[in-house]
């Protein structure tokens, strides 16, 4: 077993063996190690102080976050902006960092959270040249800096997008969308080359990326999606998004169910001969080990050397590395995702929303895979009650 970043298995079946039906199988998801999640405790913070900002700090690994008053960050570079944060999304990456299970060891104390929505309160010359102004509402993907669990955070201009004035989504929706949907969109376009009416099997788990892949594949690419999910709640969400079928991977009848679905689609030889045997082995790994694939974060990957033959291949994809190599594609993917949202083609998912002072009460729900998708933290209404979302 080894730790790795940004790997996804793409298992492609031969077109000749699918009775003319084009087919792609992509596994997308986030699986952390089985380490215990941080224990929840009552948050304690002093009253706000003039000239200070409130932030949730990770001060010790596998311990509750600590709410403190800090000096606000100072913009030092011309490519930076300062954001008054309204909402921050938390995901599996934040949990892995909090437990020191990421591929790098963060320097503590650290402020988690890299997806934020808020207003610009300071901008540099590069932001001005790109048409931004103070007061603009933006969504930021701050994946190289984090810092979102604070009332104010710095971001680079290349990692922010202006929120359309005619937006049809809430600010909380916007906070949960960029990382998952940009990653899924680039992967589906550049790694899978998904086409209309293709059939694709997506290992959703309970991840935001997996659900984003289902949403995009079904409602933008118009493909036929079979979702393999960790919980019935997640399977229900995949069905709501329009998945052709959504199955629980812990169900011992999973492979039989997939065989039946394949038969309905006139896929006759899905498990026949050598390539089919490797495909079945991969499915068994997904069903019983649950430690196979990730997209853009850290996970434990089982030894998959036996499934790298024939029609199977390992393809790597990490969003931040991709951004460095193809920044224009990264920016365009963000524009496309926001346009899809504006047009009502996609509907981002998050499981809970809660005020900042409830952070430790909801943080464990991510590591324990209690609900599908992400958790949204309201950075303004700090005492807001924990609310389970149905969207």
Report how far apart, in Å, the C-alpha atoms of 6 and of each of 228, 291, 330 are.
19, 13, 16
Give the residue from 111, 58, 117 showing the smallest Cα distance to 379: 117
Quickly tell me which residue has 């793409």 as its tokens. Answer: 10
Give all strands (DSSP E) within 60-218, no chain letters: 66-70, 80-90, 110-111, 115-123, 137-141, 152-156, 160-162, 199-205
Find out whether 144 and 320 touch, Cβ atoms under 8 Å: yes
Q: Is there a cis peptide before residue 69, judged by omega within 30 degrees of 0?
A: no
Q: What is the pLDDT of residue 112?
A: 95
Report d(CA 124, CA 169) in Å as an integer. 28
**What are the structural domains, with CATH classification, of the chain?**
2-34+180-320 (3.40.50), 53-177+327-388 (3.90.180.10)
* DSSP strand pairing (66-70 vs 80-90): unpaired
**The tokens 């998912």 sit on which residue?**
349
pLDDT in tens, the chain (391 residues): 232 222 233 333 333 233 333 444 444 433 333 333 334 434 445 677 888 999 999 999 999 999 999 999 998 899 999 999 999 999 878 888 888 887 778 899 999 999 999 999 999 999 999 999 999 999 999 988 999 999 999 999 999 999 977 666 788 889 989 999 999 999 888 877 788 888 888 877 666 788 898 999 999 999 888 888 878 888 888 899 999 888 876 656 767 777 777 677 665 555 555 555 655 665 665 554 433 333 333 333 344 444 444 444 444 567 888 888 899 999 999 999 999 999 999 988 788 899 999 999 888 777 665 565 689 999 999 999 998 875 4
pLDDT for 296 equals 33
- Burial (CB < 10 A; 0-12, 13-18, 19+), residue 118, is buried
Residue linked to tokens 């499934």:
307
Three-class SS of residue 283?
Answer: helix
- Among residues 335, 284, 324, the alpha carbon closest in space to that of 306 is found at 284
Tokens for 389, please give them. Answer: 């979302």
DSSP string spanning 200-259?
EEEEEET-HHHHHHHHHHHHTS--EEEEEESSHHHHHHHHHTT-SEEEETT-TTHHHHHH
CB contact set of 206 (below 8 Å; sequence gap of 6+): 29, 229, 230, 231, 234, 369, 371, 372, 373
CA gap 60, 64 in Å, rounded: 8
d(CA 232, CA 70): 41
- Residue 33 three-state SS: coil
């Amino acid at each position: 077993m080894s730790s790795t970043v940004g790997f996804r298995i793409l298992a492609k079946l031969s077109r000749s063996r699918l009775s003319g039906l084009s087919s792609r199988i992509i596994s997308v998801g986030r699986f952390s190690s089985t380490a215990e999640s941080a224990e929840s405790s009552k948050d304690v913070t002093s009253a706000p102080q003039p000239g200070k900002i409130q932030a949730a700090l990770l001060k010790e690994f596998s311990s509750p976050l600590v709410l403190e008053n800090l000096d606000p960050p100072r913009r030092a570079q011309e490519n930076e902006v300062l954001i008054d944060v309204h909402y921050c999304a938390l995901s599996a990456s934040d949990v892995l960092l909090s437990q020191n299970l990421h591929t790098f060891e963060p320097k503590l104390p650290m402020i988690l959270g890299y997806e934020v929505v808020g207003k610009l309160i300071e901008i540099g010359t590069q932001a001005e040249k790109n048409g931004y102004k103070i007061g603009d509402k933006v969504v930021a993907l701050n994946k190289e800096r984090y810092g979102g669990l604070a009332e104010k955070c710095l971001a680079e201009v290349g990692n922010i997008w202006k929120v359309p004035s005619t937006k049809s989504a809430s600010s909380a929706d916007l906070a949960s969308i960029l990382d998952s949907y940009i990653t899924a969109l680039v992967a589906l376009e550049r790694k899978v080359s998904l086409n209309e009416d293709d059939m694709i099997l997506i290992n959703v788990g309970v991840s935001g990326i997996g659900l984003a892949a289902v949403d995009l594949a079904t409602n933008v690419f118009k493909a036929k999606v079979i979702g393999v999910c960790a919980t019935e709640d997640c399977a229900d969400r995949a069905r709501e998004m329009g998945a052709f079928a959504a199955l629980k991977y812990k169900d011992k009848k999973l492979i039989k169910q997939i065989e039946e679905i394949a038969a309905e689609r006139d896929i006759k030889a899905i498990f026949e001969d050598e390539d089919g045997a490797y495909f079945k082995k991969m499915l068994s790994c997904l069903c019983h080990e649950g430690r196979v694939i990730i997209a853009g974060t850290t996970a434990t990957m089982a030894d998959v050397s036996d499934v790298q033959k024939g029609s199977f291949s390992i393809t790597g994809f990490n969003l931040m590395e991709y951004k460095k190599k193809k920044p224009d594609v990264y920016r365009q993917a963000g524009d496309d995702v926001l346009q899809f949202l504006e047009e009502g083609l996609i509907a981002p998912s998050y499981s809970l929303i809660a005020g900042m002072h409830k952070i430790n009460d909801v943080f464990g729900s991510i590591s324990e895979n209690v609900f599908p998708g992400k958790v949204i933290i309201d950075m303004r209404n700090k005492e807001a009650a924990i609310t389970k979302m149905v969207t």
